[in-house]
Every structure is written in C-alpha cells, then in structure tokens.
Structure 1
Amino acid sequence: MDDSCSKLTQDILRLMKDIGVAVQNESKLPYVMHREGWRLPVVFSLQCVDYAMNEWKIPENSVIIASFPKTGTMWCMEIVRQIMYGNDDELLNKSKSLPQIGHLIEMGQVYKFTDIYQELPIPRKFFFTHLPAELLNFEKIKQSNSKIISMCRNPKDQAVSWYYFLQKLKPSYTKEQTEQLLGEGWNDFIARYISGVHAMGLKEGQWYPDHLGEWIKRVREHDNTLLVEFESLKRDFKSETRRIAKFLDVELSEEDVTKVYERCTIDSMKTKTDQENDGSEFKFMQKNIRKGEVGGWKNYFTVAESELVDRLVEEKLSDIGVKFTYEL
C-alpha cells in the first residue's frame, strides 16, 4: 500500500474511532433525533444528512447501495466491489484495506467525510445508505452520473435478521432502550417492531415496508436506479450478477461471473470473516453476516404473527404491486 493510501486509512480509522465513542456514549443521549417528522438513531448525524442533501459534491460515476438494515447490504456491497475491482488486484486490495466508510453519508463529522471520501485512491467509488428515499437528492445523484442499487428482502426474514442484529447491540443500550426495541423475547419484539417504534429513518408508526415502498417508487421513476431482490440473488446468483454488472456498465466474462460467485456466496463471506477477523472491515462484516437464508422466518413466526404481517404488507404496498418471495 502506498503512503497516501496508508495515511487515508489512518485518517478513516480515527474517524471510525470517533464514531465508535459516540455509539458507546449513546446511552447519555436521547435514543431518537427528529428531522421533519423522520426519527433517526442518535448515531446518525443530522448535519451530515442535511449536507448530503444540499451541499455534497457526489463523486462522478459513483455507486450507491440503498437499503434498510438486514436486507443484504453487505452482500450487495461485496458483489459490487468484485464486479468493479475483481480484475484489478491493486484496486481490490486498496478497497479492502480501507475500513468500511460507506455509512458516513449519515454518520460522522461533515468536513472529515468530504475530505477523506474525495481523496480515496479508487477511481469509481461506492458506498451505502440506510436513509429513506425522501432524504436523498436524486437530481444531484443523476447529475453526477452515479447509480443507485436498492436492495429488497421479504419483511419476515428481514425482521428475524434485525432481531438478532439488535441482540448484538444490546450492550450499548440502556435498559429502557432495550425494552423499547426488543421487549421480552421474539413475540414481544415483533409486536413492537411492526407497530413502528423503531427509529431507523422512519416516521412514527412506520416499519420496513414503509421504507421499501418509497424506494420502489423512486426506482420506477429514475432510470439510474436498480432494484435487486435478496431472494433472486439466492435463487440465481449468476444471472443477477450479470444484471447488476450490465446496470453498472461493466463487462464480465463467464469466468468473471464465476469468480464473483465463488467470492460472494454467503458461506464464502462468512468463512472469510472468520479467517480474517483482525481487520476493522471484517469485524464490521462479522456483525452483519448471519445465515443469509430465505424462509428462516418460519422457525419464529406464529401463524397469527405471519398472517398479521401479510395483512399489514398488503395494506401498505398493494398500490404498487409488490410481491415478496417468502421461501425458495
């Protein structure tokens, strides 16, 4: 790694440490911050959200992965990384040596975010966001010739994955916050979750389908956006990889597609994080990769809970004709 890349890595590590301290001190702050009705976790920076909307100069030809938590964000990011850099070992290694900073569109100090991100030694940059579609500036994104990949996953499996992810975050929550988010076990959690008490870029009473519905509308309105279903990746990974590569204007040979497949299956990514868990990126990925399965929700939902979610999803998304895949 050259000196400039090494310095940037250290700068990013310091910034991530600052964010880590903020997360550890979360219990000293209100759990929810408000912006025009949106409820955001306190570790999000309202200043950064506003800056990204109004002032940020988006790097030309970037790729933005937009998702709700636990819908395949890290999986999609690794697929995009391999599609864009997989045939250039130097770029691939540089991208892996830099700690995961994609989330800084919402977190961190604005001036550090812009200074560092513009200087990354990678020609085509990519990052991710969990923000609702209404808080992104689609016109600016299009003007920068950038593209958006929006991830989608069935809400039952998403809920189970979200439940287990929150368990990992419990040490940073107060007792009151834990009760609000998780309750007493799965049945209490799912009742709270679908009632809209979680503040992940949502308004009062909203949960994942509300977030997804607005994103699907944007995908249908803008030709620089692509919807990718978690279940379709599981069903036919290679075909979906070709579709993503075509959208990103990257030519892949059949050998390239096979290479992406071998490097990006859920099992291979889990194995990699287990073997290389010293790096900050892999620790981040360790937290975010669990089973990555389709249909695991059946081991958790009661019949009544499943039917209730079906009714809620129908009420929220029937007008845009969304059909989820709940098992393969």
Structure 2
Amino acid sequence: MSMVVVSTVSNMSEYDRSVDGIRYPWATTDEILEAMKTFEVREDDVWLISYRKSGTTWATEIITVLSCGCDFTKRDETNPLEHTCFLDLLKPNMTEFAHVTATKKPSPRIIMGTHFQSRHMPRELITKKPKIVYVARNPKDVAVSLYYFHKSNKLLKTFKTWNECFQAFYDGDLVGGSWFDMNLYWWNRRNDDNVLFVKYEDMKEDLPSAIVKISEFLGWPVPEGKLEEVVKHCSFGSMKNNKKQHWYTESGLFDSSMSPFMRKGLVGDWKNYFTVSQNEAFDKLYEEKMKGSGLKFRYKL
C-alpha cells in the first residue's frame, strides 16, 4: 500500500501507545505491526536487531562497509536509507511503507536497526533462518542513553527528570518495551547457526576482533590489508564526524540542540546518573529477571 508521509512531525497528537503490552511511537503504525505478521523473510537476508541505544548505528555502519567489500568509494556513494531497510517506522517524506519497499529490493537485502520485540517480529524470521546479528549493551548505559534520546527525538515524549526515565526503564514501560524480555529472547537463541550475539562492550574494547567476527559470520571477509582502515572508519569519533551518519538529524525527527544523536558512546556513563539506591534496586531486578540465563555484562572497561 503506497502512501505519502508529511514532512513534519511537529503536530503529532500523541507520542506513543501500548500494543500487546508494548509501547510504540505513533510512527510505528498499526499497519506496520500487522504487516510484520506476514512479511516475507528471505533466507539470504541479513538482519540487524537490537534494543534501542545499544549500538545500532555503529553496527549498521560496520555491516554496510562489509557489504560494500570494504570499498570506501562505494560506501560513500551509498545512501544509508536506500541501501538498508528499517521496517519499524514511518519517516518524513517516505512515499510508501518500508516493508513495501523491502519487497522490491533485490537479494541479499540488509534489514537494519529493527527494534521489535519478539512477539512483533515477522513470523518467518524463525523458519527462514536469515543471518541475524543481535547487538546487546549493558542496560544501565542503555537507560542513560535513552534519557537523552527521548529529549531530542520528536517521535518520543520527553522525560522531565532522570528519575522518571529510570522508573520507566525499570518497569519496562517505555517505547520498545522491556530490555530484559528482548535481550533474554535473543540470548537464548545465541547458539542458533544463523544468529550472532554481539556485546557493545566487546566492540568498544576490541573493535578489530568484533569486525572480523561479524565479517566471518556474514561471509563477507575483510580484504587483506584493509582491517585497519575499516576500524578507523568505524570508530565512534570518526562516525560522529561523518555527515553520512547525520541523516537522522537532517530528517527532522531529531533536535540535536537538546542532545546530539551520537552523544558519548562510553561504557560506564551510567555512574554519573544512577543513585546508590537506584543501582542497588536495578541490580536486584537484573538478578531476578535474568536468573539462570548466564547473561552478564560489563559495566565499565
């Protein structure tokens, strides 16, 4: 179903709503959620899935560079919005839903940045078994990053205080739903042949190894002698200064005067926000929610 989307988001009547117990922004329409039930997945698709603010843009760039054979001239000629499919949202100036556009793309398709919880993922994602890269980040840093993301994102309501954001994250009552539910689901699928579970903290500590790991999983090897250049290109500082990464700001969806889209990218910034009591409460919640899973994160490097 083709459609024309208005070029501004300033007149939205509501920020989000609950669907099956999960909050979604108004731009994740009922039609999008319904279409996911029957969305045709291809076996040679490459999917990047993550909870919001877990390194999605970072991993997207790595996969995009690898898909171009680490040819940076070819990468520079690539429009991120045309090269990849982001199924979750309507965006300004879109002429049709992303899932409609995706059906027209030749294989192999790269479907990036999907933040759907498992219950709203395409059903064929499990049966067709495409390559899936799942990026996970420690929840405390995710919570802080979400606090600033909500300040700047015009699709999302602004939390008045850090305490308000913390409570919503703790309760799983914010856009995207429970961090615990999403990460536990994909952690439990980490041994599937078509799933690669990557931790943000490991990428921060040893980016070259993470890039090689992703390249080997996807079957897109880094050409000999190119790894150092790929690492430099995909470093946080390089990406933050790369105008190709500013499409979100330029789309009109983001007010960078409130907070930049790519803010700090640090491991451990949560210590500047969590109170002692919040930290203790969250640690207790983590043990309850993730008991027996074996999923652990590093909260500093």
Please give the secondary structure, in 2, of the residue aligned with 1:61: coil
The equivalent position to 2:265 in structure 1, one of 279, 292, 302, is 292
Equivalents in 2 of 1:89, 1:264: separation in Å? 11
In the alignment, which residue of structure 2 is the partner of 1:232?
Answer: 202
Equivalents in 1 of 2:297, 2:132: separation in Å? 21
1:14-25 matches, cutoff 5 A: 18=5, 21=8, 23-25=9-11
Aligned-residue offset at 1:64: 1.0
Aligned-residue offset at 1:142: 5.1
In the alignment, which residue of structure 1 is the partner of 2:217?
Answer: 247
In the alignment, which residue of structure 2 is the partner of 1:208?
Answer: 179
Please give the secondary structure, in 2, of the residue aligned with 1:319: coil
Q: Check if 1:116 corresponds to 2:86.
A: no
Equivalents in 2 of 1:99, 1:289: separation in Å? 21
Q: Check if 1:325 corresponds to 2:292.
A: no
Which amino acid in 1 is paired with 2:213?
R
Which amino acid in 2 is paired with 1:246?
E
Q: Residues 19-67 of structure 1: CA distance to partner in whole angstroms, max 9, x if unpaired?
A: 654x4333x1463142x3333222102222221231x233552211111
Q: Quickly say closer, same or farther: Cα 1:195–1:97, change in 2 above 3 A.
A: closer
Q: Quickly say closer, same or farther: Cα 1:19–1:50, change in 2 above 3 A.
A: farther
Between 58-67 and 145-154, report the one with greater CA deviation. 58-67
Q: Quickly say closer, same or farther: Cα 1:259–1:96, change in 2 above 3 A.
A: farther
Q: Check if 1:135 corresponds to 2:105.
A: no
In the alignment, which residue of structure 2 is the partner of 1:67?
Answer: 50
Equivalents in 2 of 1:139, 1:189: separation in Å? 34
Equivalents in 2 of 1:105, 1:140: separation in Å? 15
Q: Quickly say closer, same or farther: Cα 1:29–1:165, change in 2 above 3 A.
A: closer
Q: Check if 1:283 corresponds to 2:254.
A: no
Please give the secondary structure, in 2, of the residue aligned with 1:161: helix
1:305-320 matches, cutoff 5 A: 305-320=278-293
Assess if the C-alpha contact under 8 Å between 2:46 and 2:131 holds in 1.
yes
In the alignment, which residue of structure 1 is the partner of 2:151?
Answer: 167
The equivalent position to 1:31 in structure 2, one of 4, 16, 29, is 16
Q: Quickly say closer, same or farther: Cα 1:219–1:45, change in 2 above 3 A.
A: farther
Q: Quickly say closer, same or farther: Cα 1:280–1:139, change in 2 above 3 A.
A: closer
- Provide structure 2 residue ranges, at least 5 long, that are not aligned to the other structure: none
Aligned-residue offset at 1:257: 1.8
Which amino acid in 2 is paired with 1:57?
E
Equivalents in 2 of 1:142, 1:128: separation in Å? 20
Equivalents in 2 of 1:189, 1:282: separation in Å? 22
Equivalents in 1 of 2:107, 2:61: separation in Å? 15
Q: Quickly say closer, same or farther: Cα 1:259–1:119, change in 2 above 3 A.
A: farther
In the alignment, which residue of structure 2 is the partner of 1:149?
Answer: 133
Q: Check if 1:92 corresponds to 2:75.
A: yes
Q: Check if 1:78 corresponds to 2:64.
A: no
Assess if the C-alpha contact under 8 Å between 2:267 and 2:299 holds in 1.
yes
Please give the secondary structure, in 1, of the residue aligned with 2:54: coil
> C-alpha root-mean-square deviation of aligned residues, in Å?
3.1
Equivalents in 1 of 2:89, 2:97: separation in Å? 13
Q: How many residues align?
A: 292
In the alignment, which residue of structure 1 is the partner of 2:164?
Answer: 188
TM-score, length of structure 1 as denominator length: 0.77
The equivalent position to 1:126 in structure 2, one of 102, 111, 114, is 111
Structure number with the higher helix fraction is: 1
Q: Quickly say closer, same or farther: Cα 1:306–1:140, change in 2 above 3 A.
A: closer
Q: Quickly say closer, same or farther: Cα 1:224–1:19, change in 2 above 3 A.
A: farther
Equivalents in 2 of 1:101, 1:115: separation in Å? 13
Assess if the C-alpha contact under 8 Å between 1:233 and 1:240 holds in 2.
yes
Equivalents in 2 of 1:63, 1:282: separation in Å? 25
Equivalents in 2 of 1:19, 1:149: separation in Å? 32
Which amino acid in 2 is paired with 1:193?
F
Equivalents in 2 of 1:172, 1:62: separation in Å? 28
